[in-house]
Structure 1
Amino acid sequence: MTYTVIGSPTSRAMRVMWALEELGQDYQINPAYPATPEAKKYNPSGKIPALVVDDSVITESMAIVQFLADRHGALTKPAGTLERAEQDAHVHFLLDQMDSVLWTASKHTFVLPEEHRHRPVKDTARYEWAIAVERLEERLGDGPFLMGETFTVADILAAHCLSWAKAAKFEVASEGVAAYGKMCRARPGFRNALERAAALKAS
């Protein structure tokens, strides 16, 4: 099997790269930017990331990450179990209350045309983000990961959102959540993905 990640590593494509590194899978990177003709070859909407698996294309970052976890039997609880339902609940919480808030702020900062940006939305996003961080702290409980001792796809998503927040200058007021994000990003899988991204940028 061959994997090609479509999307710049500075985007949500990093989630896919991280998962592939954790799973020990070889992959290529096509660093297409969103809304470009290259991105639209794989997703008519122009959104990234996408994953080319042999002759098929999968879109949406967490659909890709979950597919990889299921296919390789790691980073996930088994489908049809209560543990998987709990894991999925974490993923949906993160997409709904963290990823979407950061994306809304990004759209009103640099994505949307200037005439459609509404600056006060960013203040609302920061308010919602602060609440989401508190909820994440509650979900972590005694940790160390969202599913206890097991690092899963939910942690990849959470840690990526926390990294995105840092770049966007969104505060992570909880010391526990900040430490959790730092711990996740210290994993060899994430460090290897960063090295791949840096090598690609330098080439």
Structure 2
Amino acid sequence: MYEVIGSATSRAFRVMWLLEELGQPYEHAPENPHSDRVKELNPSGKIPVLMDGDTLLTDSTAILTYLADKHGALTYPAGTVERAKQDGFTQMILDEIEGLLWTASRHTFILPKDKRVPELKDTLIWEFERNIRNVMSRANGPYLMGEMFTVPDIILTQCATWAKVAGFPTDNEAVVNYIKGTRSRPAFRTLLEKIKR
């Protein structure tokens, strides 16, 4: 039994969604960043944390990759050209989409007030619009890798939700159509129902 530690509105959502896709049982401990329990497990205080028995893993992308590889699903095999392309999507999304959203969050409510630079957000939004077009121009079908739903699809879909909450533009037609498809997956709908309870 896996345990996913972290609030459902954080990157822990990605891990829970992947476990739903895999049909793997898990328990969810909705801890906030820097809670006492989280700091005991991860000195940085960051979430999510995954417990696989006695094994502790951190960083949502590392966790997703580990689980996909372990269960042989939602990923192409390591050492294949397809996996290299899949990993290329993952890195591009982390660098060019998530990085901007994280910077905006830090300068909105995370950093001490005297360290925030709110004026950065206009530049971040400009970059986001350009970068999301670039990501979607490389998509090869209903999902980023074509017909197969993979790890970067989970990351990009969660980032699109994050972007909307953060006031970033989410009206790019390619993204809107893509997100309709990813969010209509049964595992995604199941997870939303569980979170609402």
TM-score range, shorter chain: over 0.9
Q: CA deviation at 1:183?
A: 1.3
Separation (CA, whole Å) in 2 of partners of 1:56 and 1:14? 20
> Partner residue of 2:75?
76
* SS in structure 2 at match of 1:140: coil
> Partner residue of 1:114?
113
Q: Deviations over 1:40-88 (max 9, x none)?
A: 1221110000100000101000110111111111100001000000000
Stretch moving more, 76-85 or 35-44 = 35-44
> Partner residue of 2:164?
166
Return 5+ residue gaps in structure 2 as ranges: none
Q: Is 2:183 the partner of 1:185?
A: yes
Verify the 8 A CA contact 2:97 2:159 in the aligned structure 1. Answer: yes
* SS in structure 2 at match of 1:41: helix
- List aligned pairs for 1:145-164, cutoff 5 A: 145-164=143-162
Q: CA deviation at 1:10?
A: 0.4
Q: CA deviation at 1:172?
A: 2.4
* SS in structure 1 at match of 2:3: strand
Q: CA deviation at 1:15?
A: 0.3
Separation (CA, whole Å) in 2 of partners of 1:185 and 1:166? 15
Q: Is 2:31 the partner of 1:32?
A: yes
Give the TM-score, by structure 1 length: 0.94
Q: Is 2:143 the partner of 1:139?
A: no
> Partner residue of 1:124?
123
Amino acid at match of 1:16: V
- List aligned pairs for 1:33-52, cutoff 5 A: 33-52=32-51
Give the TM-score, by structure 2 length: 0.97
Q: Is 2:89 the partner of 1:90?
A: yes
Separation (CA, whole Å) in 2 of partners of 1:135 and 1:122? 20
Separation (CA, whole Å) in 1 of partners of 2:109 and 2:180? 27
Separation (CA, whole Å) in 2 of partners of 1:105 and 1:169? 10
Stretch moving more, 60-69 or 179-188 = 179-188
Separation (CA, whole Å) in 1 of partners of 2:145 and 2:90? 11
Verify the 8 A CA contact 2:142 2:181 in the aligned structure 1. Answer: no
Q: CA deviation at 1:173?
A: 3.8
Separation (CA, whole Å) in 2 of partners of 1:160 and 1:88? 17
Amino acid at match of 2:181: M
1:195 aligned to which of 166, 182, 193: 193
Stretch moving more, 173-182 or 84-93 = 173-182
Stretch moving more, 21-30 or 182-191 = 182-191
Runs in 1 of length 4+ with deviation above 2 angstroms?
none
Return 5+ residue gaps in structure 1 as ranges: none
Aligned-residue RMSD, C-alpha: 1.0
Amino acid at match of 1:39: V
Separation (CA, whole Å) in 2 of partners of 1:36 and 1:113? 18
Separation (CA, whole Å) in 2 of partners of 1:188 and 1:42? 32
Separation (CA, whole Å) in 1 of partners of 2:114 and 2:194? 37
Identity %: 50
Q: CA deviation at 1:177?
A: 1.4
Amino acid at match of 2:156: A
Give the aligned length: 197
